[in-house]
Structure 1
């Protein structure tokens, strides 16, 4: 049994689409095995409705989430920091694993256009869980 939970922070600009979908998938797939956070460098007023609908199609409810501002504390408290188009807005700390996922921004897109982005995020989340599980078991 690992000494502590792995923690993952997903960061995008608005914390309204990509990072929220990623956090939703990771929470759904990993349950309480991995601590999940998400934030944005310039948070939107609300979650992207098309992202909410696309996730609901898979039985994952992110409608109750709200965009949050990226804080230094959130980065410091995370083992993995996964950025999705936030550029240089993400602070860098030693000892963290940084990944940059190049994903299309779902902002302003229809649910039909968001589905492929959602599915790409799901694939990456499944790989991430496998990587974290392998690290935890080592």
Structure 2
């Protein structure tokens, strides 16, 4: 992420149960075999988990996510 100018050193993962799902407009699952029984998933991007893989795999995952988020923003802006 540093290559993209994003500092995630202070990031810690949080459980979805720590949030109020009623406040969400859209729930997107990355896939990764995670069971999302606490709430309804609107979209499942089915992105493979790069854990334990090469740096190139992490970069590919990052770039895939970036592309999908940019597409999602463009989609939302087109609706406005």
Alignment TM-score, normalising by the size of structure 1: 0.50
Shift of 1:127: 0.4
Shift of 1:73: 4.0
Q: Structure 1: which 5+ runs fail to align?
A: 1-54
After superposition, where does 1:65-80 map in structure 2 within 5 Å? 65-71=11-17, 73-80=19-26
Say which structure is richer in strand. Answer: 1
Distance 1:91 1:60, change over 3 A: same
Q: How many residues align?
A: 78
Match of 2:10 among 61, 64, 79: 64
**1:106, 1:78 → 2: CA distance?**
26
**4+ runs deviating over 4 angstroms:** none
Q: Secondary structure at the match of 1:71?
A: helix
Alignment TM-score, normalising by the size of structure 2: 0.81
Q: Which has the higher contact order (CA 8 A, sep 6+)?
A: 1
**RMSD between aligned alpha carbons?**
1.9
